[in-house]
Structure 1
Amino acid sequence: MGRGAYALARVAVVVRAPAGWLWWPGVLAAGIGALVPGLTGRRIGVLAGAALFLIAAVVVFTVRRKRYLELARGASRASKSVFLQDRAVTVRTRRRALRWWLLLAFLAAMGSSFAVPAAGGMLMAGLGAGLWVKALWLGRWERANEVLLWVRTERVSGGRPAGKAVDAYQTTGIVAGDAGPGGARRSSRTAAAAAR
């Protein structure tokens, strides 16, 4: 993994970061889109959107799961010289890298409502739901193995925590960093217990 100090970002936080920015704009686009009659009519649009929501969530959740598990099982212990990136920094960096794609996705979801009402927004929300569930799945693995999974920040500059650029994960104890298993923000009570 190289010598010297370097930064690590939580894998689950990288996965989870864009979920909210897909979910809430998707729900908003679906709600506004449902007010537009569209070419297909509202009922067909909502039914198509529900199918797209489920398909998107399942696909996002299942894609590359074997790769995540392969990297997790082969993870090495992080050295004491590493810098653990704060959750807020990881979230901000990830969202900043995706902001234009997220904006285009929202505009496309809104525009598609003139053809198929609500469907584009529900598809977008489904992508967010799939990422959120994948982060929870990673959190379950972390709890079961009593470690947290980290990845070098320069390897996920493209935003893919299980992409080709990532050749290994590293682990720390379950209380390291400011995010719990699954990438959620630690409660103040949990953080205080960890500090003690």
Structure 2
Amino acid sequence: MAVVVRAGAAPLWWAGVFAAAVGLLVPGITGRRIGVMAGAALFLVAAAVVSYARRRRYTALGRAAVRAGKHDVLQDRAVGVRNWRRGHRWWLLLAWLLALGSNFAVPVAGGLLLAGCGTGLRLKAAWLGRRERDEDALLWVRVDWLAANGGRPAGKAVRAYRSTGIAAGDAAPGGARRRTAALV
């Protein structure tokens, strides 16, 4: 489940950084200095809001998690990331274009807002990873509930999470790629 949360972090971060870098080249209506200061404030606010949004729902669903049965369909990390990014690619492109377009009014601010959203998602995934480590169980969303919800792991269609052992699947707690030691 943290995999789905973390799937949007990297595209949002890099699109935001690129849009902010382009904003440094454009003087804009308000000027670069005001744009950078507003962008820094927007970055912090966006990171905090995205990171703390819906934590009660995630906690409640995590507490109600049941052991995954043999008929539950759970996705690998790579499949979950690929599906989320494919399903949201047009939204990501639109957000990036809006951040680029905002550079003509307030340079850098739109890009830093986008990067702040990506940072907030990364922080939320890290929080979920700490919860998974503390409970010694990975949390999963059933594929059919995730698809019915538009890729949102804490939406209305999700009734409860499924849990497996910490070593199940190819994802580490927090949605990161599992690191395997090379056999010598």
Q: Same fold (TM over 0.5)?
A: yes
Give the structure-2-normalised TM-score: 0.96
Q: How does 1:53-132 map onto structure 2 within 5 Å? A: 53-132=43-122
CA RMSD, Structure 1 to Structure 2 (Å): 1.2
Aligned length: 181
Residues 121-169 of structure 1: CA distance to partner in whole angstroms, max 9, x if unpaired? 0000000000011000000000001000011112112011111111110
Aligned 1:15-26 pairs, distance under 5 A: 15-26=5-16
**Deviating runs (4+, > 2 A) in structure 1?**
80-84
Q: Distance in 2 between matches of 1:19 and 1:149?
A: 19
Q: Does 1:150 align with 2:104?
A: no
Instruction: Provide the TM-score with structure 1 as the length reference.
Output: 0.90
What do residues 46-66 of structure 1 show as CA deviations (whole Å, max 9, x unaligned)? 000001111111111111000
Residue 188 of structure 1 and its aligned partner are, at CA, apart by 2.0
**For the Cα contact (< 8 Å) 2:146–2:158, is it kept in 1?**
yes
Paired with 1:17 and 1:173, the residues of 2 have a C-alpha distance of: 22
* 2:79 partner SS: helix
Instruction: Please state whether the residue corresponding to 1:149 is helix, strand or coil.
Output: strand
Distance in 1 separating the partners of 2:42 and 2:145: 31
Work out the CA distance in 2 between the residues paired with 1:85 and 1:74.
Answer: 20
- 1:52 is matched with 42
Q: Which runs of 5+ in 2 are unaligned?
A: none
**2:27 maps to what in 1?**
37
Q: Secondary structure at the match of 2:163?
A: strand
Q: Does residue 167 of structure 2 align to residue 179 of structure 1?
A: no
Amino acid of the residue matched to residue 21 of structure 1?
P
| AA partner of residue 157 (structure 2) | A
- Name the SS of the counterpart of 1:34 in structure 2: helix
Selected match of 1:168 from 147, 150, 160: 160
Offset, 1:81:
3.4
AA in 1 matched with 2:53: V
Change (3 A) 1:81 1:155: closer
Partner Cα distance (2:53, 2:165) in 1: 27
Aligned-partner residue type, residue 154 of structure 2: A
C-alpha distance in structure 1 between counterparts of 2:71 and 2:91, whole Å = 35
Percent identity, aligned pairs only? Answer: 65
